[in-house]
Amino acid sequence: MAQVVIRNIDDAAMRRLKSRAARKGVSLESELRTILTEAARADRSDFDERAAALRKKLAGRRHSDSTVLIRKDRTR
């Protein structure tokens, strides 16, 4: 697994993070790992939502075959 070092964290933020971990009964490291993992997943769900909206917007439309455009571009 990868490791990350984060420097210059605001003291108040660090106190809140330590308090949050203590309330859950876990180590600070474990709590930070959970926060980072959830944040990374959120990005994926945002992408999935945008992709679904785009599919809905384009539903029922007729689309051209992009291979024709790619072949034309290759001969330039």
- Over the chain (76 residues), what is each successive 10-residue block's mean pLDDT? 94 98 98 93 83 94 89 90
CA 42, CA 32: separation in Å to the nearest integer? Answer: 15
Strand ranges (E), 7-67: none
Every domain of the chain and the residues it spans: 1-60
Write down the pLDDT at residue 28: 98
CA 47, CA 68: separation in Å to the nearest integer? Answer: 28
| pTM metric for this prediction | 0.57
Chain center to CA of 27: 24
Write down the pLDDT at residue 39: 86
Tell me 54's DSSP state. Answer: H
Length of the chain as a residue count: 76
